Amino acid sequence: NAGVTQTPKFRILKIGQSMTLQCTQDMNHNYMYWYRQDPGMGLKLIYYSVGAGITDKGEVPNGYNVSRSTTEDFPLRLELAAPSQTSVYFCASSLSGGHGDTQYFGPGTRLTVL
Amino acid sequence: GESVGLHLPTLSVQEGDNSIINCAYSNSASDYFIWYKQESGKGPQFIIDIRSNMDKRQGQRVTVLLNKTVKHLSLQIAATQPGDSAVYFCALSNDYKLSFGAGTTVTVRA
């Protein structure tokens, strides 16, 4: 199993540009998550999904959109990039949402908005 | 929202010594706690977890202690090795959503 994979690893955007961060997991996990990590800070939840076709907002959803058309994929869309969205983005997945169910993280995408 | 804080942002440890990383939380309703390790350029990796009905749990070279009275969580690493150099996060689970602390950077001195 590759686990959770993310592309691209790095990206520089200009203000106002848009892009999609890709996330794929091959563990047949139902739950998937997007986090952002700002320098020196912990991770903050952007959006999550409890299954295909179901998504919901996390702690910091403004400026982002997600979709979950398949179990495997959970792309994160930035429509109008802003400098405040400069961060490292992590995708994660877990089999279920129950306690004791580990979230597995991808390697991250480092995004810079200039 | 949930507030999760760490006592020290950095910790320097001599190789072979024990490391103790601390974490404080504010929500007394939290009932599941996790420690993650993040190496440079990688995503967080699960280390160990503990439920609120326990006060101690041991893994391989790691021990997590939970004091619900003072809302305090700690991670102890025995015989710290160079490979333990990383950022360590505590996280609290609220349903299936995690709230992370800011992290403690552990540096192991040879």
Does B1 contact A59 at a Cβ distance shorter than 8 Å? Answer: yes
A63: pLDDT strictly greater than 80: yes
What is the CATH architecture assignment of B4-109? Sandwich (2.60)
Question: Is A69 a member of any domain?
Answer: yes
Does A106 contact B43 at a Cβ distance shorter than 8 Å? Answer: yes
Question: Is A4 a member of any domain?
Answer: no
Chain segment A64-100, per-residue pLDDT in tens = 999 999 999 999 999 999 999 999 999 999 998 776 6
Question: Is A49 a member of any domain?
Answer: yes
B49: pLDDT strictly greater than 70: yes
The pLDDT assigned to B101 comes to 86
Q: Which amino acid is at A10?
A: F
Q: Which amino acid is at B69?
A: T
Question: Is A110 a member of any domain?
Answer: no
The pLDDT assigned to B1 comes to 47
CA distance A87 to A113: 9
Q: CB-based contact (8 Å) between A39 and chain B?
A: no
The pLDDT assigned to B94 comes to 74
- The domain that contains A90 carries what CATH number? 2.60.40.10
Chain segment A1-13, per-residue pLDDT in tens = 789 999 999 999 9
Question: Is A108 a member of any domain?
Answer: no
Question: Is A52 a member of any domain?
Answer: yes
Domain ranges of chain B: 4-109
Range of the domain at A79: 16-95
